Amino acid sequence: MNDLDTLVQAAQADFAAARQGAALEDAKARFLGKSGRITELLKGLGAMPPEQKKSRGAEINQAKGAIEAALQARREQLAEAELDAQLQAEALDVTLPGRGRGIGGLHPVSRTIERIEAIFGSMGFDVAEGPEIETDWMSFTALNNPENHPARSMQDTFYVDVKDAGGRWLCLRPHTSPMQVRYAQAHAAKHVGTQAMPEIRVIAPGRVYRVDSDATHSPMFHQVEGLWLGANVSFKDLKVVFADFVRQFFETDDFDVRFRPSFFPFTEPSAEIDIRFGSGPLAGRWLEVAGSGQVHPNVVRNYGLDPETNIGFAFGVGADRFAMLRYGVDDLRLMFDGDLRFLSQFR
Ligand code: PHE
């Protein structure tokens, strides 16, 4: 092995030993720099006789080429290693669990509605849902409201800037009672011409809207409408069904139910339903929880049915009220503020 081979090997070893770009450039300078080993050898050529100069020059240039190639190869190696290291450092482990995974839960009002559905479901009630944007006819007229009834007024009802086919403003339904009409009409249409139409037993939960806002009123709240219509369903049946519902909902027998005479255009007679617990934090106070009554003959006619043979009762339960009573919440607004500190207690 001649001195040039040794030199090339030394350069290769130095380059391999360089772990980063800066160290490699230093190594390069030692061989190829202004006073590097190769440069020195080339400078030494000048003192040589022409023949020797030529062959020695060619050998040195060959060695120089080999060193340059080794340098380039090492540069590429280092650049690749650097990229690898960077990719590793910035690697994202998509299999790691996220930070603070929130556990979701059903809203207390949704839970309450599901509970009400399950209880009435067990008593043979169907569950129906309908539109929150309603016609004036469904919301009021079909329900036997006189044209000048205050419930129609702008102070109570939210109107939508769109008119129906009859030129009446649409509204956000102020109660779930339109669902009595929608469900009964569909039921009547389905069984038209049949000998004995099956009874209607349905509940219709959903959002309702009124211009009202304080600790016990929200402009959006929830009702569950109930309708049981048959050949001769009486007020007594309403009392039995409602008391049974309260018993199952609150899981207690220790309460009284009171039917307080009231007025709704769509029922006659009408009653507010109050309950009073015998024990627990709410004991002793009458709490109003629903409106109810025997369906008015005019309303049955608007269902498309004969009021002589279709008799029954309807009720409207305040679902939020039931949620508040069950969970001991005293401000309705908490239910709809969307504050997780409140909501996460119900997970
Ligand atoms: N719709 C009535 C209300 O919102 C409640 C009700 C429903 C009363 C059915 C009687 C029968 O206050």
For the chain, give every domain's residue range.
3-89, 108-346
Tell me: the pLDDT tens digits for 80-115? 998 999 999 988 888 888 777 777 889 999 999 999
Cα–Cα dist 181/16, whole Å: 89
Q: Which of these ranges, 28-32, 189-193, 219-223, has the smallest mean pLDDT?
A: 189-193
The verdict on the CB of residue 265 being under 6 Å from ligand 1 is no
CA-based radius of gyration for the chain: 43
Q: What is the pTM of this model?
A: 0.72
Q: CB 186: neighbour CB atoms within 10 A?
A: 15
pLDDT value of residue 213: 87
Cα–Cα dist 199/179, whole Å: 16
C-alpha closest to that of 219 among 335, 73, 86, 314? 335
Q: Which atom of ligand 1 is nearest to the CA of 143?
A: 1
The verdict on the CB of residue 267 being under 6 Å from ligand 1 is yes
Q: Whose CA is nearest to atom 4 of ligand 1?
A: 175
State whether residue 134 is helix, strand or coil. Answer: strand
Cα–Cα dist 172/108, whole Å: 23
If you measure from the C-alpha of residue 220 to the centroid of ligand 1, how many angstroms do you get, rounded to a whole number?
16
Alpha-carbon separation of residue 22 from 29, 64, 75, 266 (angstroms): 11, 21, 10, 91
User: Which CATH architecture fits 108-346?
Assistant: 2-Layer Sandwich (3.30)
If you measure from the C-alpha of residue 275 to the centroid of ligand 1, how many angstroms do you get, rounded to a whole number?
17
Would you say 291 and 266 are in contact if contact means Cβ atoms under 8 Å apart?
Answer: no
Q: CB 74: neighbour CB atoms within 10 A?
A: 21
Q: Exposed, middle or buried, 184 (CB in 10 Å: 0-12/13-18/19+)?
A: buried
If you measure from the C-alpha of residue 253 to the centroid of ligand 1, how many angstroms do you get, rounded to a whole number?
25
In this prediction, residues 191-199 reach a mean pLDDT of 85
Q: Which atom of ligand 1 is nearest to the CA of 292?
A: 10
Cα–Cα dist 55/52, whole Å: 5
State whether residue 19 is helix, strand or coil. Answer: coil
In this prediction, residues 297-309 reach a mean pLDDT of 96
Tell me: the pLDDT tens digits for 197-213? 899 999 999 999 999 88
Reported confidence tier of residue 1, pLDDT bands at 50, 70, 90? low
Written as six digits, the tokens of 283 are 């004991």
Q: Which atom of ligand 1 is nearest to the CA of 176?
A: 1
State whether residue 216 is helix, strand or coil. Answer: coil
Apex 272 CA angle, 269 and 274, nearest 5: 140
Q: CB 87: neighbour CB atoms within 10 A?
A: 9
Tell me: the pLDDT tens digits for 129-183? 999 999 999 999 999 998 888 778 877 999 999 999 999 999 999 999 999 999 9
If you measure from the C-alpha of residue 156 to the centroid of ligand 1, how many angstroms do you get, rounded to a whole number?
15
Tell me: the pLDDT tens digits for 48-84? 898 888 899 999 999 999 999 999 999 999 999 989 9
The verdict on the CB of residue 264 being under 6 Å from ligand 1 is yes
